[in-house]
Structure 1
Amino acid sequence: MEKIIKVMLVLSVLTAMFVTPVSAEATYNIRSTVYDSTDSSIDVGDYYWDANTFSGFLYMIKPGLSSELLYLHNSANSSKRIQLDDTIKEGDLYYISKPQMKKTKIAGSDDGGTFMVDDVDLEKYYLMGFFGSKYTAMPEDPSALSQGCKPDKIAKIMLESDEKKNVASGEEWTLAGGWTLVVDQVDVDGEKVWVHLNYKGEEIDSGVISSSANLTNMERTYLYKDSDDYPVFYCTVESIFRGTDTNFAVFKYVFLRGDIITIEEDSTYGIFDVEGFEVPALMNNINYAGSAGTTVLKTGQDALVLTSNEAVTLSADKQIDLYGGLYLKTEEVTKNPCLKMTLWKTCTAKSPATTTTAAAAPAEEEVVVVDMGEAEVTEESEESESQASTTDEETVEVDMEEATPEVESSVSTPGFEITIGILGLVGALLLFKRQQ
């Protein structure tokens, strides 16, 4: 009996070893092109990285728009390139993000050139990067986007897609960030569907939308907006089916944003303070990353402008943390001393829950570097952006599919742990037989 108890204990431990799920994260780094003070092809004076030279910044392949750049003003050596041990003075390191007006996915379904729903313009929106993640900036007037957009109120885009989604009557459609959409019921004619929107299990809003061909687009769209008329969630109904056993609706053009973040002047983000919301004269006519004319900065345009709140000395072999996983890195060059400098971003990709063995030693974290000078980042669909998120913000599914480096996860491949567990069981049984 004692032997049987021992074997049962061994089996229990081994079973727990390979069936206990754990959350796992894979870390990877993105690197910019290299600034080399001996490279004659680099302009003298100021220098900047944009989305062409650093994939950690937001970039929309189509229609060729970008939003962010890191700008180093060389006030100490304006007549030459930045050198090793030079100091970027306080206020001379800039982070700039300019909102870009872009058509929404829903706009493609409307041939009239406008898409107004409940006095909200859903034809276009202002898109901008914020330390690599995709945000929407709140316009001055949600019904007239051409009036401009001071980027002091921004919200993370959590979901945007033009893919169709079938949702049965009574089914809850999980969106993102605790938001869900529920199809309550379909009318007897199969033309209208009643839905309600939940946030963390509580009903926030409800509405009735129709797929009838003779109705306007406004009646085909369910919109939930906040008290300032800024859209929070919307989707259209593509079609509705009513059957003997199952009723369901087909949705399309879904959009969801997170809470609005208010950016105050003099707020601090890591090494940066908020300088203002207009492009400074220093950067007039800078053409940054893109094929569209809107990627040329003009003095006074709406933009988020951050400046460094401390001096930065570019000594050898140094890491200078900025904000949101961004950092500058200098390398030591012993022969013919020169400044080699790169911009980096540390990103974390969450992996689905997998299995692991309790007895195994923790695996050493594997870091994958995406080198802008040597490797090309994989881009999905028609647009891309960095996969990384700012600190204190979760990663989101985006409209413009993010530029996703091919990352080798530091998590063991599911299945190997089960094999180890089975081998352990076999070993325990053999041990028990030998002791008999």
Structure 2
Amino acid sequence: MKKMIGILAMLFIAITMLPASAENVTYEVRSTVYDNRDPAILPGDFYWDANNFPVLWYQIKPGLSSELFYIHNTWNSSSVIKLGDKIPSGDFYYVSKPQIKRTKIASLDEGTTFIVDGCDLKRYYLMGFFGAQHMVMPTDLSNLSKGCNSDEIARILMDSDEKKNMLTGEEWKLPGGWSLVAQQIDVKGNKVYLELKKKDEVVDTAVVSTDMDLTKQEKTYIYKDDDDKPVFYCYVDSVFRGTDSDLVVLNYVFLRGDIITINTGDTYGIFDVKGFTVPDIMDGVNYAGSGPGTVLNTGDDALIMASNKDIVLSAGKDFDLYGDIYMRNEDTTSPDLKLTLKKKFTIEIPDCPDNVTPEVNSTSSDATDEIPLASVPNNAKVQDPIETAETRQTTEVVQSSAKAPGFEILIGFMGILAAAGIKK
């Protein structure tokens, strides 16, 4: 027994003297399997959506999704796809159809619109772009029923319905290098002087009143770009005079990144942009989600991309699609085919002192709740709307909350010794 306890003690000392470091952890998210031996798999076309490939954008409430990876079986539409088949260039599609959703500020007013400075903030169009949530620019800013432009998208940097209390002179740091300052407050007039900055440069100023006689729209501050499209807005709830400082209460804060224009012919991985309306071959496809817009109809607004090279379904072959998304053919015997889509993610575990838990490097809850785009393979010709200085996201590389060897190991060691003593 003494010998065993001595060995355990030596082991404990050796463990606690090891450097607190570990290698990064990489994992994959996989789609469902296209198994041509499964009787549920029908001949002809096949697609993956957010139901069977969870990397794709999906809002559980209210049941919205927009994305598909679609195989158009032109070589043998009467049969299932087999190992060794070739998906010809142009027959593998990426599709994203914008969905309309109520904004958070819409809860302020039960009316059918919420017009502020000519812009209807009641709803906005959203869509996934290889999994990352984006806002789509409407065709008519004051009449959202006229649809949207699938070729103009922007990352949503912040969309919050939590109240923010700001003191006079305080600078509130926002995502993307933006910030907001409440410079002065006039309590008698129920007014606040706001200053909006980007990278420490003032881009806009405004005096907003919270007078009870005003409408909620008149109490909303909005900043628009040169094309009169909203970039930032917030609702000024109230102002207060304190003993030492004054206070303003803000709510329903929204901020987007720069608008990215997608052009026909642009290339993203193995996909070329073909157009912005749903083609005939996908008419009637009812894909993931319970929202009214999750059915593809010919002519619907949508981003349509098609493969620019042949894909040969060889056994054990991986085929890069875009970013860290790739197609995997399992090593099976012809004609059996087991085909999946996968995406890689990495958890970065940093070196840290004993008993210190590193901060989690993740996107603010005010930004987006979707998985962002990964980096693009070096061999792909890509124009990536995410890779800008303002909107680059880092949520795919997150800091682990795992602690270095310390008190937990000590407690475990004491438990072993106790167990050994009881056994004796």
TM-score range for the pair, normalised by the shorter chain length: 0.7 to 0.9
CA shift at 1:389, angstroms?
2.4
Structure 2 residues without counterparts, runs of 5 or longer: 1-18, 354-364, 376-383, 410-424
* Residues in 1 aligned to 2:399 and 2:30: alpha-carbon distance in whole angstroms: 19
Aligned to 2:338: 340
1:190 and 1:242 in contact (8 A); partners too? no
Written as runs of structure 1 = structure 2, the 5 A alignment for 1:245-264 is 245-264=244-263
Aligned to 1:131: 130
Change (3 A) 1:183 1:417: farther
SS in 2 for 1:108: helix
* Residues in 1 aligned to 2:179 and 2:26: alpha-carbon distance in whole angstroms: 29
Aligned to 1:295: 294
SS in 2 for 1:42: coil
* Residues in 1 aligned to 2:190 and 2:403: alpha-carbon distance in whole angstroms: 45
Change (3 A) 1:241 1:27: farther
Query: 1:146-202 deviations in whole A, cap 9, x for unaligned?
Result: 112121111111111111111211111111011111111111327221111111111
2:62 and 2:291 in contact (8 A); partners too? yes
Aligned to 1:377: none
CA shift at 1:388, angstroms?
2.9
* Residues in 2 aligned to 1:51 and 1:273: alpha-carbon distance in whole angstroms: 22
CA RMSD of aligned residues (A): 3.0
SS in 2 for 1:111: coil
* Residues in 1 aligned to 2:66 and 2:175: alpha-carbon distance in whole angstroms: 24
Residues 1:388 and 2:341 aligned together: no
* Residues in 1 aligned to 2:176 and 2:407: alpha-carbon distance in whole angstroms: 32
CA shift at 1:409, angstroms?
6.5
* Residues in 2 aligned to 1:313 and 1:233: alpha-carbon distance in whole angstroms: 47
CA shift at 1:61, angstroms?
1.5
2:98 and 2:127 in contact (8 A); partners too? yes
SS in 1 for 2:105: helix
CA shift at 1:244, angstroms?
1.3
2:352 and 2:404 in contact (8 A); partners too? no
Written as runs of structure 1 = structure 2, the 5 A alignment for 1:5-404 is 27-189=26-188, 191-334=190-333, 338-348=336-346, 355-356=351-352, 386-391=370-375, 393=386
Query: 1:349-382 deviations in whole A, cap 9, x for unaligned?
Result: 678xx6537xxxxxxxxxxxxxxxxxxxxxxx9x
Change (3 A) 1:214 1:251: same
2:84 and 2:335 in contact (8 A); partners too? no
* Residues in 2 aligned to 1:232 and 1:103: alpha-carbon distance in whole angstroms: 17
Q: Which amino acid in structure 2 is aligned with residue 253 of structure 1? A: Y
2:189 and 2:211 in contact (8 A); partners too? no
Q: Sequence identity, in percent?
A: 53
Q: Which amino acid in structure 2 is aligned with residue 112 of structure 1? A: G
* Residues in 2 aligned to 1:25 and 1:250: alpha-carbon distance in whole angstroms: 42
SS in 1 for 2:54: coil
SS in 1 for 2:217: helix
* Residues in 2 aligned to 1:417 and 1:108: alpha-carbon distance in whole angstroms: 49
Q: Which amino acid in structure 1 is aligned with residue 46 of structure 2? A: Y
Change (3 A) 1:25 1:160: farther
CA shift at 1:258, angstroms?
0.7
* Residues in 2 aligned to 1:255 and 1:95: alpha-carbon distance in whole angstroms: 29
2:133 and 2:372 in contact (8 A); partners too? no
* Residues in 1 aligned to 2:400 and 2:227: alpha-carbon distance in whole angstroms: 44
Quick one: higher RCO (CA 8 Å, sep 6+), 1 or 2? 1
SS in 2 for 1:146: helix
Q: Which amino acid in structure 2 is aligned with residue 108 of structure 1? A: S
TM-score (norm: length of structure 2)? 0.79
TM-score (norm: length of structure 1)? 0.77
1:45 and 1:77 in contact (8 A); partners too? yes
Runs of 4+ off more than 4 Å: 24-27, 348-351, 407-412, 414-420
After superposing the two structures, state which structure 1 stretch, 73-82 or 264-273, moved more: 73-82
SS in 2 for 1:295: coil
Q: Which amino acid in structure 2 is aligned with residue 298 of structure 1? A: N
Change (3 A) 1:25 1:97: farther
* Residues in 1 aligned to 2:138 and 2:25: alpha-carbon distance in whole angstroms: 36
Query: 1:80-107 deviations in whole A, cap 9, x for unaligned?
Result: 1111111111000000001111111111
Structure 1 residues without counterparts, runs of 5 or longer: 1-16, 358-380, 399-403, 421-436
SS in 2 for 1:194: strand
Change (3 A) 1:415 1:187: farther
2:282 and 2:297 in contact (8 A); partners too? yes
CA shift at 1:29, angstroms?
2.4
CA shift at 1:246, angstroms?
2.3
* Residues in 2 aligned to 1:331 and 1:84: alpha-carbon distance in whole angstroms: 9
CA shift at 1:73, angstroms?
0.8
* Residues in 2 aligned to 1:256 and 1:350: alpha-carbon distance in whole angstroms: 28
Aligned to 2:361: none
* Residues in 2 aligned to 1:108 and 1:115: alpha-carbon distance in whole angstroms: 10
2:182 and 2:194 in contact (8 A); partners too? yes
